[in-house]
Homo-oligomer: A and B are copies of this chain.
């Protein structure tokens, strides 16, 4: 059974190399997660276990694919940023994008019990992914700002909505009507006046999303030669819930955008 006469079908494969010297963002998104969170009784507006699990999966992805410079997650999505000079899988789009979404999903199912304990995973979830290229550092920062601003907008809305429903005894339709057309300020006001909730005091993880990156941290160690305590700087993968829209974060971590 010779294979040679069929091998021509390989020539139908396309070479999908991404442009060199641009940032690559792979965004992983939960498919039908509205249904998934309902079936698994996620707490509203935010389920800490669910978010921690997402963060853990993303953390493991960043451990595995060391070309990832920074990742940002909120709700059921995570964006992974690969550096301009990254040559993972020779920058083949489908390889990069599919490997990341597969490993993320794999981790999600594998670690479900670590975060949900006895609560069973009723069915295996699906994520999709896509790769997008951003040429300049400004474009990349704007992309990340876009996602973090989105986190803020969604979370403020969801917090109001679910507070009105769960504590204000409104129906979903009533809550939706009450929020229709309101500005951020007004939503803050509703939370504060009606429910004594200061939105800015809620956990940053919900308000800012999660940032995973390799941080330069000082670590002390025992120098065996001199038998003295010394320190050196090392890159450590960390998860933080901080503002990445303003310049502060980027000034404190200049190496991120230098792509080294």
The answer to whether B98 and A125 touch across the interface, beta carbons within 8 angstroms, is: no
Task: Please tell me which one of the listed residues B2, B105, B135 contacts residue A106 in the complex, with CB atoms under 8 A apart.
Answer: B105
Given A102-B101, A102-B128, A124-B110, A145 and B14 contact (CB-CB distance below 8 Å): no
Residues of B within 8 A of A153 (CB): 1, 3
B130 touches A102 (CB 8 A): no
List of B residues within 8 angstroms of A133 by Cβ: 12, 19
| Complex contacts, A1 vs chain B, CB 8 Å | 149, 152-153, 184, 245
Chain B residue numbers with a CB within 8 Å of A132 are 9, 12-14
Asked if A129 CB lies within 8 Å of chain B CBs, one says: yes
B98 touches A130 (CB 8 A): yes
Whole-angstrom distance between the Cβ of A77 and the nearest chain B Cβ: 13
Closest to A29 in B: B98
**What are some 21 contacts across the A-B interface (CB < 8 A)?**
A1-B153, A1-B245, A3-B146, A6-B146, A6-B149, A8-B142, A9-B139, A12-B20, A12-B139, A15-B15, A22-B135, A84-B135, A93-B94, A94-B130, A97-B98, A98-B98, A101-B101, A105-B106, A106-B108, A106-B125, A109-B109
Closest Cβ–Cβ distance, residue A134 to chain B (whole Å): 6
Contact with B along A84-124 (1 / 0, CB 8 A): 10000000011101110111111111110000000001011
Contact among B21, B31, B105, B145 with A139 in the assembled complex (CB-CB below 8 Å): B21
* Complex: A150 Cα to B102 Cα, angstroms: 25
| A231 contacts partner chain B, Cβ-Cβ < 8 Å | no
Binding site for B on A (CB under 8 A): 1-3, 5-17, 19-22, 31, 60, 64, 84, 93-95, 97-99, 101-111, 121, 123-136, 139, 142-143, 145-146, 149-150, 152-153, 184, 245
* A63 → chain B closest CB, angstroms: 11
A149 touches B2 (CB 8 A): yes
Contacts of A21 in B (CB 8 A): 12, 135-136, 139
Is B14 a contact partner of A129 (Cβ separation < 8 A)?
no
Known: A22-B19, A127-B102. A9 touches B146 (CB 8 A): yes
Once the chains are docked, how many angstroms separate the CA of A84 from the CA of B139? 12
Q: From A16, which residue of chain B is reached at the shortest CB distance?
A: B130
Min CB distance A124 to B, Å, is: 4
Which of B8, B15, B124, B134 meets A103, CB within 8 Å?
A: B124
Cβ-defined contact, A109 with B130, below 8 A? no
Contact with A22, one of B22, B111, B146 (Cβ below 8 angstroms): B22
How many whole Å from A32's CB to the nearest CB in chain B? Answer: 10
